Amino acid sequence: MSATSPSNQLFARPVMPFTSFSDLAAPSFLPQPWVIQNLLPVGLTLLSGDPRCGKTSLAQQLMLDIATGTTPFGTQDAALDDASQHLRPRRGSIFYLSLTSSTPHLHEIRSRIYASRPDIPALSNLFVTNAFKPLTPGEGLQELCDWIHCYADSCLLVIDDLASLRSLFPGNDRELLALLRRLAEEYQISILLLHSCKRSSPLAAQVNHQLHLKRLPVSTFYTLEVHGNRLLPTSYLLYCPADRLSFRLASLEEERALDTLSAHKTLTRERLGLLRLFDEYGSILTPRQVAALLQLDYDCARQLLSKMVKANLLTAPARGHYAIHSFIKPLVPSLLAHHPFLPKFDIAHIPADEEAKVEAVPATIEPAAQEEKLDAEPTAEIATAHAASDTTASTSGESVSHPGHQEPETPIAHNQPSPQWQASGLNGNIPGSPGYLPGYQVNASQMPPPAI
């Protein structure tokens, strides 16, 4: 389709000569540049993401917020008035081209929307269709313009999705996106176009703004990245339960848990199986119990549990006892729902806790105190042995000399034997020994045993 085609001429800007800024008069009415403040401006916005990552659910949530004038993602600040909210919606009429839905599916969408907000009144400003005429000046384009022009508060057109819209347009994607940009500019509305693609898709250069949605490994959490001409690059961490339409910002505790579960090499299949075991058992387990169920060596099971503690998947409330960490415990059921074929365990046959029968070292004793206690034990044994020796010696009438006790020295003549030798009845000493005295004969059979 060329630049002079009827479709492009339908929304062509009027010819304007060069005008100086001093002569450029301000318009009497400035249109509202936002449909949702800081999130969804006027113009063409591409909502991208992987297939089945939640783009349609997010678009329906935004439609519902605009139709009811509700602040998106639960960011209502009670301390601020409505005009000062960071994500302030502009209430108005919405047109939803759900080209990928059948008629029964449209009824499911309606039921889901009303189930998420049971207290809202009838949505008379939300219009939906699942079939449309070709986007030519005489058919679909003209009818679309008539619908938008019929409602003065028209503010949003949602198209789900680009692949289905291509069959209604005779040109290429570049011409189609240019037409949608001109349509949004002409009527000062926001057009939200859903498409399954990467964030770096070439289509991002053909739109005014881009919202990229990514589903996290825990399926109820998402990241929404915001880029655009009027938008500061922003990222939102969102939570939406699987059973209803209710996107909200994730809490700080949930964010910490997701950081733990998203760590490198954290969620291996082996660890997921252990998380399932702890979740089904619902109580504390020991390495011996885990080793018996997994048929592993005790040391292997203990090392595996220790590594999961370091990864903040498990916690050790007591020595040798493990449980799921409180940070990630609320997210474990949603995480395990994505892995239905993990190994199953017969928790009814978990062996008894043998760790409780083993007397452990008290946790209150410091390591240095434990070493000091161990060093003191041999000293006590030695003291006991000396006491027994003293008792034996006193009974036999012999005097015992302790290693630490020094008796007063008695002067000994150079040629006289020592008193110990005299008491033993010996007449001499050993030749060649220290203090040898010549002239004394020694009977080897009467020699005292050597001192040890």
Identify the burial level of 306 via C-beta atoms within 10 angstroms of its C-beta, where 0-12 means exposed, 13-18 middle and 19 or more buried.
middle
- Measured in whole angstroms, the distance separating CA 139 from the mean position of its chain's CA atoms is 51
Buried/exposed 367-404: b ≥16 CB within 10 Å, e otherwise: eeeeeeeeeeeeeeeeeeeeeeeeeeeeeeeeeeeeee
Q: Average per-residue pLDDT in the chain?
A: 78
Backbone φ, ψ for residue 169 (5° rounding)? -125, 130
Q: What is the largest CA-CA distance in the chain?
A: 146
Residue whose pair of structure tokens reads 């050597």 in the numeric block: 450
How far is residue 452's CA from residue 448's CA, in Å, rounded to a whole number?
Answer: 12
- Measured in whole angstroms, the distance separating CA 231 from the mean position of its chain's CA atoms is 27
Task: Judge whether 131 and 140 are in contact, CB under 8 Å.
Answer: no
Neighbours of 194 (CB within 10 A): 27
pLDDT digits (tens, 9 = 90+) for 6-17: 555 666 777 778
Average pLDDT over residues 404-425: 49
pLDDT digits (tens, 9 = 90+) for 421-445: 444 444 445 555 555 555 555 454 5
How far is residue 344's CA from residue 280's CA, in Å, rounded to a whole number?
Answer: 10
pLDDT confidence of residue 219: 84
Return the higher-pLDDT residue of 56 and 412: 56
pLDDT confidence of residue 397: 46
pLDDT confidence of residue 398: 46
pLDDT confidence of residue 365: 44
Distance between first and last Cα of the chain:
112
CA angle 31, 152, 210 (to 5 degrees): 55
How far is residue 114's CA from residue 125's CA, in Å, rounded to a whole number?
Answer: 14
Average pLDDT over residues 90-101: 92
pLDDT confidence of residue 222: 94
CA angle 331, 333, 334 (to 5 degrees): 70
Peptide bond into 161 cis (omega under 30): yes
pLDDT digits (tens, 9 = 90+) for 340-384: 777 777 777 777 776 555 544 444 444 444 444 445 555 555 555
